[in-house]
Amino acid sequence: MSIPFFFIPCLAALVLSGSFFPAHAAGSRPPNIVFIFSDDHAFQAISAYGEARRLLETPNIDRLAKEGMRFERCLVPNSICGPSRATVLTGKYSHLNGFYNNSNSRFDASQPTVQKLLPGYQSAVIGKWHLVSDPVGFDHWQILPGQGDYYNPRMIRNGEKIEVPGYVTDVITDASLDWLKKRDPSKPFLLMCQHKAPHREWEPALRHLHADEDRVYPEPPTLFDDYSGRGPAVRDQDMSLAKTMTARDLKLVAPARLTPEQRRVWDAYYEPRNEAFREAKLVGKELVRWRYQRYMHDYLACVRSVDESVGRILQYLQDEGLAENTLVVYSADQGFYLGEHGWFDKRWIFEESLRTPLLVRWPGVTPAGSVCRDIVSNVDFAETFLEAAGQPVPADMQGRSLVPLLRGNTPADWRKSFYYQYYEFPEPHRVQPHYGVVTDRYKLVRFYGAAGNTTELYDRLKDPLELRDVLGQPGYEAVAGELEAELGRLRRELKVPEEVPAEAYGGKPQGGPKPR
């Protein structure tokens, strides 16, 4: 019996097929590559995605969709910051690149990575790195140590520790533009501009504190999800607006690195509102609602600065005559919860966490305003950059180049299913380790950990909010069997070990695959 996977090809003009537009013409200069990568930027917070709960306008990021391609189903293999970055560099899953979690993993910089495989290119990574070891194989690097600071950030520039005044998104953008201006114009380049924003604790640029004019943001329909209809894992988590947010998350205390002048602006905005909050003595659902509104104000203000950064970079490319031969990619390390299911953060195989934004502009190759609904992933990024540059893709990379999709052609053998595995447990947030298979319609997931071993099945066509486990319900027997078989096939194909090393969890694993 065939697996009932839906297949919807990329929507693009046939005239712009690969036969008309190679990645770059023989003998011509390969394209420059600008990779703009934000941290925890939910697709729900990009207006180009047109979600029903419209939270803000992102005109500069949207420009990439208007002038290029918007991917609707870009999925990540491990929804957490460091592992996602390691996947982008290596084109491999966590179990092969060795970076499983943010707690105790350290990136093996000796392994092949995309910037090392682009001969003739100048390369730079600027901004958030979050892989513990220093960057290797870049001509220039200027990174935030660890998670980095929002205000007056400490950075490491080619091994030298520095401090830069200002707001971190502006600092990263300034440093990226400075490198572009000083590069050797005779060579193509790879620039990886990697933002801290809008990562927790969602601390905005001071100029954006009043940007929403105290707007009341629409609540997600699952803000008060009671987690019925699913297994114990969703109840065992510690990532809710109701229980988990701290005083610093909620701006009830100020960041330590503000200058006195910055602190005055901060206090002028937050303190009157904080005082009103304290006097209200909110409890229960009204407290959750207040926290949600404060969270949205701060998170979306951080997104505004990222959108401005994208605009500045696009303007530079246009002004310098570089836009026509530059592949520009905007994405984030994974999705993020904006109050759905009462949560913030990520980690789950569920949609808001699993799915990340991806917008690509490639003049002369990718039709303007096109949309792709095929399943793609950040495990495909390295392969895409290599093919675009005319370089071979190593056989041990686990993704596939997106170049055919960017040309408007979906290969007949393009993936119809996707493998996911999350490890980090129990800290932070007590999200149970799990792995599973994802298709256009279904998700089969196995949880293991302190909450017990469970297998769950979700039908996104009938239950787009993923509120009901339908495993064992009448009518799903064949689907469950087919997905079990597909899960086994993917694990074999991807060389997923049956036994997970203990260090993969970042803490003591409980149950599930036996640690080595």
Q: Is 454 part of any domain? A: no
Range of lowest pLDDT (49-53, 212-216, 371-375, 496-500)? 49-53
Is the pLDDT score of 8 beyond 50? no
- Cα 161 from Cα 346, distance rounded (Å): 31
Residues 249-296: pLDDT tens digits?
Answer: 999 999 999 999 999 999 999 999 999 999 999 999 999 999 999 999
Residue 512's pLDDT band (boundaries 50, 70, 90)?
low
**Predicted pLDDT at 291:** 98
Crossing angle, helix 59-67 and helix 284-319, to 10 degrees?
60
Q: Are residues 199 and 210 in the same domain?
A: no
Q: Comparing C-alpha atoms, which of 166, 99, 108, 128 is closest to residue 39?
A: 128
Tell me if residue 63 falls in helix, strand or coil.
Answer: helix
Residue 87 sits in which domain range? Answer: 23-203+300-410
Q: Is 165 part of any domain? A: yes
Mean pLDDT of 455-474: 98
Is the pLDDT score of 6 beyond 50? no
Is the pLDDT score of 228 beyond 70? yes
Q: Are residues 28 and 110 in the same domain?
A: yes
Q: Is 511 part of any domain? A: no
Q: Are residues 269 and 328 in the same domain?
A: no
Residue 4's pLDDT band (boundaries 50, 70, 90)?
very low
Q: Are residues 249 and 106 in the same domain?
A: no
Share of the chain above pLDDT 70, in %: 93
Is the pLDDT score of 18 beyond 80? no
How many domains does one find in the chain?
2
User: Would you state the structure tokens that stand for residue 100, as one six-digit string?
Assistant: 């499983």
Q: Are residues 157 and 47 in the same domain?
A: yes
The mean pLDDT of the chain is 93
Q: Are residues 106 and 182 in the same domain?
A: yes
Residues 142-186: pLDDT tens digits?
Answer: 999 999 999 999 999 999 999 999 999 999 999 999 999 999 999
* Distance, C-alpha 136 to centroid of its chain: 22
φ, ψ of residue 173 to 5 degrees: the values are: -65, -45
- Model's pTM, two decimal places? 0.94
Residue 19's pLDDT band (boundaries 50, 70, 90)?
very low
- Cα 436 from Cα 184, distance rounded (Å): 46
**Predicted pLDDT at 88:** 98
Is the pLDDT score of 51 beyond 80? no
Q: Is 402 part of any domain? A: yes
**Predicted pLDDT at 421:** 98
Q: Comparing C-alpha atoms, which of 409, 316, 319, 396 is closest to residue 370?
A: 409
Residues 309-320: pLDDT tens digits?
Answer: 999 999 999 999
- Cα 36 from Cα 126, distance rounded (Å): 10
Q: Given 269, 294, 319, which residue is the final one in a domain?
A: 294
Mean pLDDT of 16-36: 65
Q: Residue 394 is part of a domain; what is its CATH number? A: 3.40.720.10
**Predicted pLDDT at 92:** 98
Q: Is 108 part of any domain? A: yes
Residues 73-125: pLDDT tens digits?
Answer: 999 999 999 999 999 999 999 999 999 999 999 999 999 999 999 999 999 99
Q: Is 509 part of any domain? A: no
Q: Are residues 255 and 328 in the same domain?
A: no
**Long-range contacts of 256-260, Cβ-Cβ distance < 8 Å, separation of 24 or more:** 257/149, 257/150, 257/151, 257/152, 257/153, 258/151, 258/152, 259/151, 259/152, 259/165
Q: Are residues 196 and 315 in the same domain?
A: yes
The DSSP letter of residue 198 is T
Strand pairing category for 442-447 and 454-459 = antiparallel
Residue length of the chain: 516
- Cα 190 from Cα 328, distance rounded (Å): 10
**Predicted pLDDT at 28:** 82
Is the pLDDT score of 17 beyond 50? no
Q: Are residues 69 and 96 in the same domain?
A: yes
Between the alpha carbon of residue 310 and those of residues 85, 306, 324, 328, 515, the distances in Å are 19, 6, 16, 10, 43
Q: Given 353, 381, 410, which residue is the final one in a domain?
A: 410
Q: Are residues 376 and 356 in the same domain?
A: yes
Is the pLDDT score of 11 beyond 90? no
Tally of CB atoms within 10 A around 19? 10
φ, ψ of residue 316 to 5 degrees: the values are: -60, -45
Q: Is 425 left (phi over 0), alpha (psi -120 to 50) or beta?
A: beta
Q: Are residues 197 and 248 in the same domain?
A: no
Q: Is 495 part of any domain? A: no
Q: Is 481 part of any domain? A: no
Q: Given 257, 278, 294, which residue is the final one in a domain?
A: 294
Q: Are residues 142 and 244 in the same domain?
A: no
